[in-house]
Structure 1
Amino acid sequence: MAGSYSSAAGGPGGAFRAARRRGRRAPRIVALGGGQGLSASLRALRRLTAELTAVVTVADDGGSSGRLRDELGVLPPGDLRKALAALCGDDEWGRTWSEVIQHRFQSDGELHGHAVGNLLIVALWEKLGDPVAALEWVGRLLGAHGRVLPMSAVPLHIEASVRGLDPAEPDVVSIVHGQAEVAVTPGTVEAIRLLPEDPPAVPEAVEAVHAADWVVLGPGSWFTSVLPHLMVPQLRDAVAGTQARKVLALNLVAQPGETEGFSPQRHLEVFLEHAGGVELDFVLADSAAVGAVADCEALRDAAKRLGAELVLAPVAASDGARHDPELLAAAYDRIFRTHGRIAPWR
């Protein structure tokens, strides 16, 4: 299937509410990623199901998260906080708490730049000694429409092999250390690694993937938010072996530094290089971002190499650089309803 479509009558949220009135089970959906890309996906998916789990990268080493992880030895809380904020409702309670946990202190002292939600999450980690239980407490406080889990229980570091880091030596491959540096590196990222190697997955994340009806990867920073999940062996094996159907949502534009100059097709080629046996069912791309017919055909061929069908839909906001939550929800909704094994909304 490749072509544009609009949401079902009444919108995706209306379809979900109608399904609940009929007593039908909403689909269990697991979304893997980190940062703003995962947040965009969660804002869309929470309109479709109450059975939503976010599995989040834990390799951030910059800003408030990096300072807390260095000082206290904890998981970096920033991407987990963003996921929780994205799951807040659109009512006054949800909007208020979303703004509060995203609030950053501005001062001349040590609190400068720290996000309130980061401090709250870390405080609960220290009190409870259980990262999963602490995130569930925060989720209940916020009234989050879903669950947030770290992909690993240990803080991770990203290393990248980058070609042409020095413009004077375009063919030399160098090693760049740390998520914050990889995200803005000049040159071309060719591969990534996680340290420690073969990190343990959070068992609840593995269980959620195995129990899911759908697994959604992307959009997001390709090398630092999307691909790291495939570097955690237990999580990669769960994604490869689950009976859930899998959707990969492509980015709207290349990211300066990390994927500078990448076409949509190149994103899929890089995913295939790191996939480790993971096959997909669908690749979702914005119809305007793909562009020419030739580009569409190349992207469809790249999707087929991953075992996937290409789905084109309008999912971009008016600026063309961000995903619109309603449009993205409508695209996911159409895929789930048309191809879901349990057909929850038919």
Structure 2
Amino acid sequence: MSAAARPGARGPATGRHERASGPSVVALGGGHGLAASLEAMRLVAGTLTAVVTVADDGGSSGRLRSELDVLPPGDLRMALAALCDDTHWGRTWRDLMQHRFATDGPLDNHAVGNLIIAALWEMLDDPVAGLDWVGQLLGVRGRVLPVSLEPLRIEADCRVGHDLVTVRGQSQVAKAPGRIMDLRMTPSDPAACPEAVEAVEAADWVVLGPGSWYSSVLTHLLVPDLAAALHKTPARRCVTLNLEPEAGETDGLTSTEHLEVLHRYAPELRIDVVVADPSAVEDLDTLADAAGRFGARLLLRQVSRGDGTARHDPLRLAGAYRDVFEGFLGDVGRRAD
């Protein structure tokens, strides 16, 4: 493509991320958990940036990562789709980005959005610019950034009976055969995306979770420059707990143990608020104590859907985040609304 015909090296940072009021929020995670929080936060944040894990090595993302030597686009695609607004334009582009081919050929199970993102990366040779251009096309309410400009590789040691078994790759960590005892990055010092570090340092609030605790949330703490930014940013920090353990990597892990795992990987990290659905809390006192070890208060809100599934309701979660961001916590340690 000629220089005159191709998009510039950097497009506009986002489609429509500026809002009249509200805090500047950075959300960390990946997959369905991050998408759920973004659908809620786009309703209450002033500016919103998603910093997304790039460790996926399975499915469509894994194939594109291997064949094209690019970042796995799947979690980035899901974040972009979650930031589409509720107009006809936004819903149409959201559904197109998430659409998967079903064929007997090489396109089988590829998501359209993954192909669009990978094509722009190939054209621009710049992952951040490519994501910004997709964001502009979709008219998203926010910006999506990778946590690193290089694909991440994670591995975990799992306790299986009396043995310690090592599994490698996000797709295998997500299906861990036993309790995860240790998670690490290989190599151990991947470079952070500079724009992601800048966003964290400039934020009013940083939100971790919900999501796959080891393979989506904790991976951010294993990128040294981003972890350093999380520790030194003047932003307040919020942790959103999952509605139930995930089969595989967190099977059998209580809500309190989720916080204890986070504390093990970031013992010096200060947390201001922990958001939890009361239906997912096994013991209120122990969870409040675990939050207190971070210096955090516990905010109990019903944030799940009313259909009995373990999925977050965007409007309910948005209401919880509004309470968090506005500082209206009340008696958060002992009462659920």
- TM-based fold match above 0.5: yes
In the other structure, the counterpart of 1:225 is 216
Greater shift, 86-95 or 310-319, is seen at 310-319
Q: Larger relative CO (CA 8 A, sep 6+): 1 or 2?
A: 1
Distance, in Å, in 2 between the alignment partners of 1:289 and 1:160 is: 26
- The superposition leaves residues 169-200 of structure 1 with CA deviations (integer Å, 9 ceiling, x where unpaired) of x1211110010011012211111111221110
In the other structure, the counterpart of 2:289 is 301
> Is residue 324 of structure 2 the alignment partner of residue 329 of structure 1?
no
With the length of structure 2 as denominator, give the TM-score of the two structures: 0.90
In the other structure, the counterpart of 1:9 is none
Contact 1:32–1:215 (Cα < 8 Å) also in 2: yes
> Is residue 97 of structure 2 the alignment partner of residue 101 of structure 1?
yes
Q: Give secondary structure in 1 for the equivalent of 2:198.
A: helix
Q: Give secondary structure in 1 for the equivalent of 2:71.
A: coil
Distance, in Å, in 1 between the alignment partners of 2:27 and 2:323 is: 17
- The superposition leaves residues 232-273 of structure 1 with CA deviations (integer Å, 9 ceiling, x where unpaired) of 010001011000000000000000011011110010111111
Q: Give secondary structure in 2 for the equivalent of 1:228.
A: helix
Distance, in Å, in 1 between the alignment partners of 2:108 and 2:138 is: 24
Q: Give secondary structure in 2 for the equivalent of 1:119.
A: helix
Distance, in Å, in 2 between the alignment partners of 1:178 and 1:77 is: 16
- The superposition leaves residues 306-330 of structure 1 with CA deviations (integer Å, 9 ceiling, x where unpaired) of 1211111110112240000000000
> Is residue 242 of structure 2 the alignment partner of residue 251 of structure 1?
yes
Please tell me the residue identity of whatever aligns with 1:199: P
Greater shift, 146-155 or 302-311, is seen at 302-311
Unaligned runs of 5+ in 2: 1-17, 330-337
In the other structure, the counterpart of 1:279 is 270
Distance, in Å, in 1 between the alignment partners of 2:65 and 2:280 is: 37
> Is residue 205 of structure 2 the alignment partner of residue 208 of structure 1?
no
Contact 1:236–1:278 (Cα < 8 Å) also in 2: no
Please tell me the residue identity of whatever aligns with 2:287: L
- The superposition leaves residues 38-65 of structure 1 with CA deviations (integer Å, 9 ceiling, x where unpaired) of 0000000000124000000000000000
The alpha-carbon deviation at position 276 of structure 1 amounts to 4.9
In the other structure, the counterpart of 1:316 is 304
Distance, in Å, in 2 between the alignment partners of 1:134 and 1:218 is: 25
The alpha-carbon deviation at position 285 of structure 1 amounts to 0.4
Please tell me the residue identity of whatever aligns with 1:337: E
In the other structure, the counterpart of 1:197 is 188
Q: Give secondary structure in 2 for the equivalent of 1:89.
A: coil
Q: Give secondary structure in 2 for the equivalent of 1:193.
A: strand
Count of matched residue positions in the alignment of Structure 1 and Structure 2: 311
Unaligned runs of 5+ in 1: 1-16, 165-169, 341-346
The alpha-carbon deviation at position 26 of structure 1 amounts to 2.3
> Is residue 108 of structure 2 the alignment partner of residue 121 of structure 1?
no
Distance, in Å, in 1 between the alignment partners of 2:47 and 2:193 is: 19
Please tell me the residue identity of whatever aligns with 1:137: W
In the other structure, the counterpart of 1:87 is 83
In the other structure, the counterpart of 1:66 is 62
Q: Give secondary structure in 2 for the equivalent of 1:60.
A: coil
With the length of structure 1 as denominator, give the TM-score of the two structures: 0.88
Tell me which protein shows more helix as a share of its residues: 1
In the other structure, the counterpart of 1:171 is 162
Please tell me the residue identity of whatever aligns with 2:104: D
Aligned-residue sequence identity (percent) comes to: 57
Q: Give secondary structure in 2 for the equivalent of 1:243.
A: coil
The alpha-carbon deviation at position 288 of structure 1 amounts to 1.8
Q: Give secondary structure in 2 for the equivalent of 1:197.
A: coil
Distance, in Å, in 2 between the alignment partners of 1:277 and 1:339 is: 26
Contact 1:252–1:320 (Cα < 8 Å) also in 2: no
> Is residue 147 of structure 2 the alignment partner of residue 151 of structure 1?
yes
The alpha-carbon deviation at position 279 of structure 1 amounts to 1.7
- The superposition leaves residues 265-305 of structure 1 with CA deviations (integer Å, 9 ceiling, x where unpaired) of 010111111115222111110012115xxx10000001111
> Is residue 260 of structure 2 the alignment partner of residue 269 of structure 1?
yes
Please tell me the residue identity of whatever aligns with 1:36: H
Please tell me the residue identity of whatever aligns with 1:321: A
Q: Give secondary structure in 1 for the equivalent of 2:327.
A: helix
Q: Give secondary structure in 1 for the equivalent of 2:114.
A: helix
Contact 1:31–1:216 (Cα < 8 Å) also in 2: yes
RMSD of Structure 2 on Structure 1 (CA): 1.4
Distance, in Å, in 2 between the alignment partners of 1:47 and 1:233 is: 31
